Structure 1
Amino acid sequence: MWKHSPPKCSEAEAERLCMDEMLKKYCGEFGWWQLRHFVLTSMAWALEAFHTMVVIFADREPAWRCVSGGCAEAASICGMEDGTWEWVEGPGSSTVAEFGLVCGDKYKVGLVQALFFAGCMIGAGIFGHLSDSKLGRKGSLVVVCILNAIFGCLTALSPTYPVYVAFRLLTGVSTGGVGLCAFVLATEPVGATKRGAAGMSTFYFFSGGIAALSGIAYAFRSWRALYIATSIPSILFLVFVLPFVSESPRWHLIRGEVGPAMQTMHAIARSNDGDLPTTALLALDEEVSGHSPRSTSAKREAVNGSLVDVLRCPLTRARLFLAVAVNFFCSVVYYGLSLNVVNLGTNLYLNVFLNAVAEMPAFFLTAVLLDRFGRKPLSIGTQWFSGAFCLLGGMIKGYGVWKMVRMVCGILGIFGMAGTYNLLFIYTVELFPTVVRNAALGCATQAAQMGAILAPFVVVMGERVPFLVFGACGVAGGMLAFLLPETLNQPLYDTMAGMEEGEGGRALLS
């Protein structure tokens, strides 16, 4: 009977390959399948931009006008009697107008954003762990999009300021998992030589989302309508995009689910006009090395990992501490300079749009140089570029033309740090094995959120001091990046053991 049903190859006949090798040899490192998957998955970054930056418009202080001649000379509404002035666009134009967040209560506007980023920090840790374990990358992305849609719509119904703060905090928790899940899911099926450029391109979707948000906010001037309008895209993404996104084969592999992983690899090969033989079989890097043999059946024992495993291993522990510190310093500079640029006193909608567009050349330039100079030199160079211009801006005194020079220094500082912020995602992903990748990235993202929380407090320190602080952070981040290893064209390891063996071999050869 077996003449009509050829026997399956035995384990001895199977060609065991780690995923990077299989992509390079048979499937294609970045073909049509990866392009479609990358674009669909990275669209989630626009959703994160909506939920993060919506407060620029929802919490803005709108224009006001006098309703009696007695306040014609007043420069501020503070101290003015009720009934002598009114909001030009009405009390429903922003939370500031509706909840009275002015004068002595103005700090509450910053408090909302700080608590949102605190929620992001919590969410990054939670969903970083869940995406490495039970939910997977795609499952976690589904959950955070559902929560974002729910909390975003509920925010629009907030009757009071405390309720508004609570829903923004909850939205932050769900938003904290969007970017890291989307990034890892988009880049894990990409081959080693193409992963850097692909990873750097994800931030175009974030900046594009900010640019689109300025148009949405221009169309929906009520803050309640704006929150609804920026939450609906999460529902559309769930219904029309995510069904066409595949779970990461790397996650299936470390979970011991070789069958689903191989199905995805065969789909990649077919779509890319590759030829994946039936004798080829995905294996963990430690299995390919032969140091830790496992069963090559279609269902292996799952390989689990957590942040505890990262801290337990000296190699990954040092990398984690450095990645956390660099991400923190980078975030302080990026968000701090962004706040300074937004508050230029020009048209708010146009200003936000131009700021988003201005970041894109930095993403493009960094992506072009990434595979030529490597992650480490580029990380150092972009941070020092930003730090140098920030320090120069902090040393400039005077007004008039010198104030314009300081503004240019800030723009160049943002240009450099935008490239770093983009680069750090792909760099952090490559520093850790699949089994703990999202947990480590979640930890680094939490550090970035801490920097985002701190940034507004630095901005209020005056005109020159913030530039000096941002400059010091840029220089310090670049110095810490010196201690990180280069990951250019290196494999994405699957397990802790595989990474230790691979890094040990590299150390012996160097």
Structure 2
Amino acid sequence: MAEADSTPLLSQISNSEPPLLEKHLPSLDSTIEKCIGDFSWSQFLQAMLVSFAWFFDAQQTFISVFTDAEPKSWHCKTTTESCNSASSDICLLSRDSWDWDFPKQKSTISEFSLECSGSLVTGLPASAFFIGCLIGGLLLATLADSSLGRKTMLFVSCLVMALSTLFTAVFSTNIWIYSALRFVGGFGRATIGTCALVLSTELVGRRWRGQVGVMGFVFFTLGFLSLPAMAYANRESSWRNLYVWTSVPTIFYSMAVYFLVYESPRWLFVRGRKEDAVKNMAQISNNQNIIMSFSSMAFEEETWNVDLYSAIKILVKKKWAFRRLSAVMAIGFGTGMVYYGMPLALGDLDFNLYLSIAFNALSELPSSLVTFFLVENLNRKSSLLFFTSLSGICSIMSVLRGKIWTRLQIGFELVSFFSACTAFDMLLIFTIELFPTCVRNSAVAMVRQALVFGGVFSPVLAAAGRGSDGFVSYGVFGIVIGCFGLFVVCLPETRGRGICDTMDEEEHKDKFVSCIIEHGSAGSDV
């Protein structure tokens, strides 16, 4: 017994674990790392082209802030006691007695005569867009993992979003057709961010995965930032021009994706298309020797066939996967409500709309830069907990009233939005690292659906906040993101950990880590 107890702990682990590990060949991840681990200009250009989809995604996500803006400036046509532009309520006046100070076509509210409609009607187009995103994500989520792949799904999504955006400008004759077309746009847009993020990170090696993922967030920021500039240039023209200006470039971008982007080698391998995968890797890394050398490499392949919705089924069936998915979706819901809701609620604050939107868009840039430069050094769990808590606190403080607090409102709002953006970025990178290749796109898609689901409630809260000094909007935003951010404690840390490609590989890795922890605990007891 004494001799047995004197055996070093690490020796006990090494003697017990190899039989388990010897059953498995090197992972697909480690095999691909040998081929595309070094970052080349070809990989950079591919990743940048794919990530640029976020630019157009941002434009359609926030375009309603300007096209559906509630008009405030009007004047009386005749000088009467009943009509006073400073104190009268236009809903109590006859339509012939007043008029807008700007062209009627500037906003959908004025063109469709919705100035006296309730918040549910005026917020319907924005809500329809997010509902379309939600339903589209649920129906299309697994297509990128199953039959279509990352590239084809990205192309189809961008093209559908672009065409529906163009049709919105041409065929919208009332609020109902307009809302229906916004729903179609949201439905098509649903998988753009997911496919762009997953595809761009799967085109590069592990060392550059975080930085490439952040590249998409930077393009999203630039797309968001382009909106106030375009809206300001279009301030005296029809709202339809914004949809035309954003749709035409997206159509050309869709064609570029179809002809210039390569499919993910990881997805091709998982689908059993080894020859196509090797050929793509050779073109991406600009190294034709890969075709010759790869045939001699052995690696673990997927043991189950991924078909439509099977990725979602296995995520729910596996307890560890369902636990992770539930936690990240809960965090995503709280983060999404703040991320999508704050720009819509900026009308509650006493600040210029164009400047406040520009400041919010600009706050995304340092958020992306912080994530880009610190992603390799930040623990996923602690950073997510910090940014969700900070966002919640500042969101609540932005509705406090008083001489001092009112002046600081926009500052608190910007800090809250910055924190929500950073939490958003970290959550998506965290999700990529939590799930293997065979279900990664579906997992990220489900998290983005949780984000969008939070966004569904944002237009209603933003509209309701106008009558409550912003507390119903910003107060609820702060409470929700602060509470739901606590779910991060249920997740394992993934910083510096290699990504897996199969569910079996992920499970064996977790068992191996658990074994080390158990032996470590036993050793400490001894």
Q: Residue 442 of structure 1 aligns with which residue?
A: 445
Report the Cα distance in structure 1 between the residues aligned to 2:388 and 2:296, rounded to whole angstroms: 39
Shift in Å, 1:87 = 2.1
Contact 2:152 2:258 in 1 (8 A): no
Report the Cα distance in structure 1 between the residues aligned to 2:106 and 2:332, rounded to whole angstroms: 35
Q: Does 1:366 align with 2:378?
A: no
Q: Deviations over 1:12-67 (max 9, x none)?
A: xxxx7544324543433433222111110111111111212111121123332222
Amino acid at match of 1:183: L
In the superposition, relative to structure 1, how do residues 24 and 133 fare at CA in structure 2: closer, same or farther (>3 Å)? closer
Q: Does 1:336 align with 2:341?
A: yes
Contact 2:262 2:284 in 1 (8 A): no
In the superposition, relative to structure 1, how do residues 336 and 50 fare at CA in structure 2: closer, same or farther (>3 Å)? closer
Amino acid at match of 2:439: V
Q: Residue 212 of structure 2 aligns with which residue?
A: 198
In the superposition, relative to structure 1, how do residues 345 and 230 fare at CA in structure 2: closer, same or farther (>3 Å)? farther
Q: CA RMSD in A?
A: 2.4
SS at match of 1:86: strand
Amino acid at match of 1:363: S
TM normalised by structure 1 equals: 0.88
Amino acid at match of 2:84: A
Shift in Å, 1:433 = 1.5
Q: Residue 11 of structure 2 aligns with which residue?
A: none
Contact 1:17 1:281 in 2 (8 A): no
Shift in Å, 1:282 = 9.3
TM normalised by structure 2 equals: 0.85
SS at match of 1:65: strand
Contact 1:22 1:282 in 2 (8 A): no
Shift in Å, 1:335 = 2.5
In the superposition, relative to structure 1, how do residues 145 and 26 fare at CA in structure 2: closer, same or farther (>3 Å)? closer
Q: Does 1:72 align with 2:84?
A: yes
Amino acid at match of 2:189: T
Contact 1:64 1:85 in 2 (8 A): yes
Q: Does 1:389 align with 2:394?
A: yes
Which is further off, 427-436 or 412-421? 427-436
Of the three residues 153, 172, 179, the one matched with 1:140 is 153
Q: Residue 316 of structure 1 aligns with which residue?
A: 321
Report the Cα distance in structure 2 between the residues aligned to 1:493 and 1:180, rounded to whole angstroms: 18
Q: Residue 510 of structure 2 aligns with which residue?
A: 503
Amino acid at match of 2:441: N
Q: Residue 6 of structure 1 aligns with which residue?
A: none
Report the Cα distance in structure 2 between the residues aligned to 1:333 and 1:226, rounded to whole angstroms: 25
Gaps of 5+ in 1: 1-15, 295-300
Shift in Å, 1:302 = 5.1
In the superposition, relative to structure 1, how do residues 284 and 255 fare at CA in structure 2: closer, same or farther (>3 Å)? farther
Shift in Å, 1:403 = 1.3
Q: Residue 169 of structure 1 aligns with which residue?
A: 183
Which is further off, 332-341 or 85-94? 332-341
Of the three residues 210, 222, 231, the one matched with 2:224 is 210
Residues paired across the two proteins, number = 480
Q: Residue 12 of structure 1 aligns with which residue?
A: none
Report the Cα distance in structure 1 between the residues aligned to 2:85 and 2:305, rounded to whole angstroms: 72
Shift in Å, 1:354 = 2.5
Of the three residues 220, 245, 254, the one matched with 1:238 is 254
Shift in Å, 1:392 = 4.0
1:9-408 paired onto structure 2 within 5 Å: 18-62=27-71, 63-70=73-80, 71-75=83-87, 76-156=89-169, 157-220=171-234, 221-270=237-286, 276=290, 278-281=292-295, 286-287=300-301, 303-304=306-307, 305-341=310-346, 343-393=348-398, 396=400, 398-408=401-411
Of the three residues 416, 419, 432, the one matched with 2:422 is 419
Gaps of 5+ in 2: 1-24, 518-526
Shift in Å, 1:178 = 1.2
Contact 1:334 1:414 in 2 (8 A): yes
SS at match of 1:455: helix
Amino acid at match of 1:324: M
Which is further off, 135-144 or 471-480? 471-480
